[in-house]
Amino acid sequence: MALKTIPIEEPEEPPSSCHLTICPPLTSAASPARFPALSRAKSFRNRHFPSSTIDEWNDWRWQLRNRITTVDQLEKIITLTDSERQALQRHDSTLPFAITPYYASLVAKDDCQDPIRRAVVPVINELMVSPGEAHDPLGEDSHTPVPGLVHRYPDRALFLTTDYCSNYCRYCTRSRMVGRSQDTTAIKARWEKAFVYIEQHREIRDVLLSGGDPLTLPDEMLEYLLNRLRGIDHIELIRIGTKVPAVLPQRITGRLTRMLKRYHPLWISIHAMHPAEQTKEMKKACERLADAGIPLGSQTVLLAGINDNVPTMKKLMQGLVRMRVKPYYLYQCDPITGSAHFRTTVAKGLEIYEGLRGHTTGYAVPTYVIDAPGGGGKIPLLPETCLGRDGNDVLLRNYEGNIYRYPDAS
């Protein structure tokens, strides 16, 4: 491995300019969502944000304005290791650091192996380059005909709506581009080029809104985007990829869900990482989206030391089903630069898949995939269940390892 030294732009918009992009000021017309207050979150708020009210805590814009973004802020919350401190003090990472107060309340103070902490607090390992890693491992840039639009599959397009996330996951596939400063004018100018491309390519019937996180956009900007896409007659399906229900559940307000209902068929894919995220707040956020008639799926990245065992993954997937979220994809971690400490073997992923299939409801079993490096798309990975033929019979292996014969049609 070798240390990477990568010159980058100024990371992340400063809090003072937050209102330009995603944080309109709180007005009396927009009351915060009511959420159950976990005792852990309540004690965290009292300890670290004593002057804040429960209404402020429950307001997503307050959460964004008060994100933890510096070493000084973070070391008041957790006991930093040397590796964490060194990583935070370096300025050659391609990915900014930020955690909402809500998500920070889930981080273990003294356990550096805590799954939530490992996912959002940088360590020195992410500054190391390993063989096979790349800034754009999926080859998205080579399938980008206009800025912010990836057209890799024949009938669908990936629309990168914003470069902003409420929290920055350290294993982010798009660490090369998220967290850069952009104002509203620049975003909308980029969107217009994407709209024109989509209008000109009638083979596109499905648009996935991603980023960054689309649900960090204000309601007005998000509705403009949805309305504009709904005005294109060959667009049949709109999907939103987001981690907001897990990291910023306060964003799922009644006003937001009422707006989203106007743009069906609309689907939402939720990034879910670990059972520790499955709080009452996340459950409430998912229920609000489901009650708005939005089908919910999940996408989970397989991460070494975080969720790479059958009990953890089973608990995560079963918890999602209880929240009315269908587990959709289990991703092998993409080989982004500095991700070696997060990546497992493919054999581990297949072991986990086998530990789920047949051992829990099929609704709780995601498809295990590798998003092929270089732009090959998602390739499903399955253990060997079809063992071949014996005469006219197909030989099959079930989840218990038993062999069965199926009389195949001649």
153: annotated active-site residue: yes
**What is the rounded distance in angstroms from the CA atom of residue 61 to the CA atom of residue 35?**
15
Burial of 400 from C-beta contacts in 10 A (0-12 / 13-18 / 19+): exposed
Q: Which of 45, 61, 136, 169 is catalytic?
A: 169
Q: Which of 4, 112, 153, 155 is catalytic?
A: 153
172: annotated active-site residue: yes
Beta strands in 31-171 (DSSP E): 128-129, 149-153, 156-160
Q: Which of 152, 230, 261, 324 is catalytic?
A: 152
334: annotated active-site residue: yes
Q: Which of 23, 172, 286, 333 is catalytic?
A: 172
Among residues 232, 62, 75, which one has the least CA distance to residue 157? Answer: 232
Q: How many CA atoms lie within 13 A of 295 on its CB side?
A: 11
Length of the chain: 410
Q: Any idea what DSSP says for residue 7?
A: -
**310, containing H or E segment:** helix 310-322
**What is the rounded distance in angstroms from the CA atom of residue 167 to the CA atom of residue 180?**
14
213: annotated active-site residue: no
Q: Which of 61, 65, 165, 176 is catalytic?
A: 165
**What is the rounded distance in angstroms from the CA atom of residue 207 to the CA atom of residue 25?**
30
Q: Using alpha carbons only, give the angle 289, 63, 24 rounded to the nearest 5 degrees.
A: 85
Look at phi and psi of residue 12 and say left if phi exceeds 0, alpha if psi is from -120 to 50, else beta.
left
Q: Which of 59, 114, 308, 334 is catalytic?
A: 334
156: annotated active-site residue: yes
Beta strands in 61-135 (DSSP E): 128-129
Q: Any idea what DSSP says for residue 336?
A: B
Q: Any idea what DSSP says for residue 239?
A: E
Measured over the CA atoms of residue 160, residue 165, residue 171 and residue 177, the dihedral's sign is positive
Examine residue 305 and say whether the peptide bond preceding it is cis (omega within 30 degrees of 0): no
Buried b (16+ CB within 10 A) or exposed e, 10-38: ebbbeeeebeebbbeebeeeeebbebeee
378: annotated active-site residue: yes
Among residues 328, 249, 241, 327, which one has the least CA distance to residue 287? Answer: 249
Q: Which of 378, 389, 390, 404 is catalytic?
A: 378
Lookup: tokens for 391: 């005469």
Residue with tokens 């649900």: 215
Q: Any idea what DSSP says for residue 68?
A: B
112: annotated active-site residue: no
371: annotated active-site residue: yes
List, by residue number, the catalytic residues: 152-153, 156, 165, 169, 172, 174, 334, 371, 378
